[in-house]
Structure 1
């Protein structure tokens, strides 16, 4: 029996990962949640070091995946202490407990550890985060490396996938504004056309992580830093256009070609995925195919998001 603990199993990536791992014969998955606990998860506040130690000691996983984080750049900018507690200190606590049990720790990081001026970025490129979120995730990477020799960081870009609310992903969070702009008296929705993103489908990432876990299960453990990314560059404006097409909405969208966010964001942080590709790991579902799956699975009535 190969046992995996998924920390943050109720989140956007965590749910996709649990769904993927649950299909594996001979594997057992235990997921944790904090803000959205359910009958299928263990309630765990990863800021509570004693609770983390007790959880890892009790469950004794062979591998632990940290998918919990404070991922909202604006929140991190205004509350750096919270960002550090979740993105740095909790990583250290989890990795320490896992290392004590001899478990492999996979920690999820971000393309925002880079400043976006010289893409594509290899795993060994020099980080230069522009905001508190990127800095906290970079410090989390270092915390993992300092804590265990049996660990790996997986950097990911903008994620989207099956959702429980439009706001859960920066991709689907555009839907209400798109729908409003398509109404009879709707104003044009202004969309960022400056920052280049690489939307990456969470079921694809879940498969990547499952393939990495399979290698660990057969003693071919991946260590250090690896990266995975979708390969279709697009701005939020271009994402919005494609969502409107998928929903068959006559949306009125206006591109904004200068940075509009209060929190500084990088221009283009394209992550090179060559390490994992060389191992035969990975899958990329075309954006138009994947976003249609996401939208079809979520509630939609007429031209009004519900």
Structure 2
């Protein structure tokens, strides 16, 4: 029996990973949650070192995937102590406990460790984060690689996938504004057309992680830093246009050509995925196909004006 602990299993990526791993014969998955607990999840505050130790001791996993994080740049900017607790200190604690049990640890990081000025970025490109979120995730990467023997960091860009609320992904968070801009007499919604993003489907990421776990299970462990990314560049305005098409809404949308975010964000952090690709790891679902799947599973009519 190959046992995997998923830390942060109730989140956007964690749920997709649980679904992917549940299809594996001879594998057991134990997932944790903090705010969205359920009978299938173990309640765990990753900031509690004693609770983390007890969880790892009890489960004794073969592998640990750390998907829990503070992922909102504006929150990290306002509360760097929280960002550090979740994105750095918790990673170190979990990795240390896993290491003592001989478990392989995979930690999720972000394209925001780069400043976005010289894409594409390789796994060994020099990081230069622009904001507190990127800095905390970079420190979390170092905490993982310094603590976990043979551990691995997986950098990912903008994620989207099956949701429990519009606000759960920066992609679907655009839907309420799009719906409002489609109302009779509504003003046009201004959408960022400056920053270039690479939306990446969480079921595809879960597939990638499962492939990495399979390699570890057969003694071909991937360690160090790897990256995975969708391959369709688009800004938020272009994402909004495609969302409106998928929703069959005639929304009035206006591109905003200069950055307006209070928290600085990089222009283009395209991640090169070659290190995984040469191992035969990877899957990419076309954006238009994937977003229709997401929207079909989360009925929007009557809900789109509220998050």
Corresponding residue for residue 246 of structure 1: 246
Corresponding residue for residue 160 of structure 2: 160
Deviations 1:223-248 (A, max 9, x none): 00000000000000000000000011
Structure 2 alignment gaps of length 5 or more: none
Conserved? CA contact 1:103–1:150, under 8 Å: no
Q: Is 1:189 aligned with 2:189?
A: yes
Structure 1 residue 186: deviation in Å? 1.4
Q: Is 1:174 aligned with 2:187?
A: no
Summarize the Cα distance change of 1:177–1:205 in structure 2 as closer, same or farther, 3 Å threshold: same
Conserved? CA contact 1:95–1:144, under 8 Å: yes
Deviations 1:161-182 (A, max 9, x none): 0000000000000000000000
Summarize the Cα distance change of 1:60–1:198 in structure 2 as closer, same or farther, 3 Å threshold: same
Structure 1 residue 110: deviation in Å? 0.1
More displaced stretch, 112-121 vs 145-154: 145-154
The alignment's TM-score, normalised by the length of structure 1, stands at 0.99
Corresponding residue for residue 69 of structure 2: 69
Structure 1 residue 304: deviation in Å? 4.5
Conserved? CA contact 1:20–1:207, under 8 Å: yes
Aligned residue for 2:39, secondary structure, equals coil
Corresponding residue for residue 54 of structure 2: 54
Conserved? CA contact 2:131–2:264, under 8 Å: yes
RMSD of aligned Cα (Å): 0.9
Q: Is 1:126 aligned with 2:129?
A: no
The alignment's TM-score, normalised by the length of structure 2, stands at 0.99
Distance 1:78 1:167 in 2: 19
1:1-306 counterparts in 2 under 5 A? 1-301=1-301, 304-305=304-305
Structure 1 residue 26: deviation in Å? 0.1
Structure 1 alignment gaps of length 5 or more: none
Distance 2:144 2:173 in 1: 31
Structure 1 residue 267: deviation in Å? 0.1
Aligned residues: 306
Conserved? CA contact 1:99–1:150, under 8 Å: no
